[in-house]
């Protein structure tokens, strides 16, 4: 063995921080954001959504056309410098109508998601928190609602309420919250039994504090992910209802009735189907990709 200097065998001065943490420490959301940023598809989806939302807000204001003014001289025109996406059979500017439609579809999606969130989180939270008999009664009710096919119920409701944006949102909200409620309840039930909640309770934390500080933040990831799937589902529902003649009524444009009209004349005026299809699919695709990315990013099991 090589010789080693004697003074090397003096007692060492121990560093103060025995448990120094060598990895960079990131909070849950920082970590999630970092992982989301790594997911190229999800980031592209986010950018696309921002662009679409911006266009939906700005274009109807600046395009120089509105969604309803008819122009019998320029019917079914192909795309041109005057009409980027061409015109429809009433000579209305499709570029304006599509972004109007996107505006309406996005509004429906977002309002539906908010209503879903409020009703679902409240219902699921109450059910999980009180447990016992309250929970089992609330769950029986959910089981019944869950088996009612929502599009059929929406059709019936729309017959009564009459077509229109408010009716669509209402019909969606009345049936759509169930998944959210089940999800929140399931998540809270698991969390409620976990050691850190028991620890907090043992330390004397009040129920309200436990819900606010421990349960909600831990369930938030799942809720956020669910919302990114509710929005496209509501947008889809609008398009579906418009397609069977119960959605947004002309002359107001929605992506649903633009698609429906476009499909009818596809053979002669393909531009009337292609443009709404591209915008509609981009919105749905982006929400789905973003939702997938968020789910991966927010899943604590994926943390490395």
Partner 1 sequence: MLKYTLRRFFYMLVTLWVIITLTFFLMKLLPGNPFGESAAKLTPENLQILREQYGLDKPVWQQYLKYMGNVLQGDLGISYQYPTRSVVSVIQHSFKASLELGLESLIFAIVIGLALGTYAALRHNKAGDYTAMLIAIVGISVPSFVIGPLLSYFVGVKWGILPPGLWTGPEHRVLPALALSFGTIAILARMMRASMLDVANQDYIKTAKSKGLTSGAIINSHMLRNAILPVITILGPIAVNVVTGTLVVEIIFAVPGLGSQFVSSIVSNDYTMITGLTLFYAAILIIVLFITDIAYGLVDPRIRLGKGR
Partner 2 sequence: MSAPLLEVNNLKVSFKMFAGEVQAVRGVSFTLDKGEVLAIVGESGCGKSVTAQTIMRLTPTPPSFIKDGSIIFDGKTDVTKLSEKQMMKIRGQEMGMIFQDPMTSLNPTMTVGAQIAEGIRKHEKLSKSAAMRRAVELLTLVGISNPGERINQYPHEMSGGMRQRVMIAIALACHPKLLIADEPTTALDVTIQAQIMDVMRDIQEKTGTAIILITHDLGVVAEMAQRVIVMYAGKVVEQGDLNDIFYKSQHPYTWGLLSSVPRLDSDKKAALASIPGTPPDLFAPPKGCAFAARCPYAMKICQEQDPEHLPVSGPTHTAACWLMHPDAPKVERPVAAGGGVTHV
> Which residues of the chain form contacts with partner 1 (CB under 8 A)?
143-144, 147-149, 151-153, 155-157, 159-160, 162, 232, 236, 239-240, 243-246, 259-260, 262-263, 266-267, 273, 277, 280-281, 284-285, 288-289, 292
CA distance 260 to 82: 24
Nearer Cβ to partner 1 (149/207): 149
Rounding to the nearest 10 degrees, give the CA dihedral for residues 61, 256, 285, 291: 90
Residues 5-64 that bind partner 2 (CB under 8 A): 6-12, 14-15, 18-19, 21-24
Residue number, 253 or 289, with CB nearest to partner 1: 289
Least distance from C-beta 108 to partner 1, angstroms?
15
Cα–Cα distance between 43 and 37 in angstroms, integer? 6
| Alpha-carbon gap, residue 28 to 299, rounded angstroms | 10
Cα–Cα distance, 201 to 193 (Å, whole number)? 11
CB of 8 to partner 2, least distance (A): 4
The two tokens of residue 3 are 């010789």
Helix (H, G, I), strand (E, B) or coil at 200: helix
243 binds, options partner 2, partner 1, none, Cβ within 5 to 8 A by partner type: partner 1
Among partner 2, partner 1, none, the one that 284 touches (CB under a kind-dependent 5 to 8 A) is partner 1
Cβ-contact 112, 234 below 8 angstroms: yes
Residue 296 beta carbon to partner 2: minimum distance, rounded to whole angstroms: 13
What Cα–Cα distance (Å) separates residue 105 from each residue in 23, 153, 257, 301? 45, 20, 11, 34
Q: Smallest distance from the beta carbon of 191 to partner 2, in angstroms?
A: 21
Which is nearer to partner 1, 87 or 260 (by Cβ)?
260
Determine, following the binding rule CB under 8 A, whether residue 4 of this chain makes contact with partner 2.
Answer: yes
Residue 76 to residues 4, 87, 206, 254, 262, Cα–Cα distance (Å): 92, 5, 66, 18, 11
Residue 7 interacts with, from partner 1, partner 2, none (CB under 5-8 Å by kind): partner 2
Q: Under the rule (CB under 8 A), what is the footprint of partner 2?
A: 1, 4, 6-12, 14-15, 18-19, 21-24, 304
């Amino acid at each position: 063995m090589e010789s080693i200097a004697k003074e090397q065998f003096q007692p060492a001065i121990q560093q103060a921080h025995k448990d120094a943490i060598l990895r960079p420490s990131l909070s849950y959301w920082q970590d999630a954001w970092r992982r989301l940023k790594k997911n190229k598809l999800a980031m592209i989806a986010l950018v696309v959504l921002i662009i679409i939302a911006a266009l939906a807000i700005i274009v109807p204001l600046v395009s120089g056309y509105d969604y309803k003014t008819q122009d019998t001289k320029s019917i079914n025109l192909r795309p041109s410098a005057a009409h980027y996406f061409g015109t429809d059979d009433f000579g209305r500017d499709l570029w304006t109508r599509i972004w109007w439609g996107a505006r309406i579809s996005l509004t429906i999606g977002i309002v539906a998601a908010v209503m879903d969130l409020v009703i679902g989180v409240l219902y699921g939270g109450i059910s999980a928190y009180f447990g016992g008999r309250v929970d089992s009664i609330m769950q029986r009710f959910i089981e019944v609602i869950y088996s009612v096919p929502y599009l059929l119920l929406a059709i019936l409701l729309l017959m009564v309420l009459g077509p229109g944006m408010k009716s669509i949102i209402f019909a969606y909200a009345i049936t759509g919250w169930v998944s959210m409620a089940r999800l929140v309840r399931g998540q809270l039930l698991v969390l409620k039994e976990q050691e850190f909640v028991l620890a907090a309770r043992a330390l004397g934390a009040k129920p309200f504090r436990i819900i606010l500080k421990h349960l909600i933040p831990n369930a938030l990831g799942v809720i956020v992910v669910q919302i990114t799937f509710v929005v496209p589902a509501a947008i889809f529902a609008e398009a579906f209802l418009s397609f069977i003649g119960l959605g947004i009524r002309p002359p107001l444009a929605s992506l649903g009735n633009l698609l429906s009209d476009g499909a009818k004349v596809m053979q002669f005026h393909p531009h009337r189907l292609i443009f709404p299809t591209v915008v509609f699919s981009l919105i749905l695709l982006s929400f789905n990709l973003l939702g997938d990315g968020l789910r991966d990013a927010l899943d604590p099991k994926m943390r490395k």
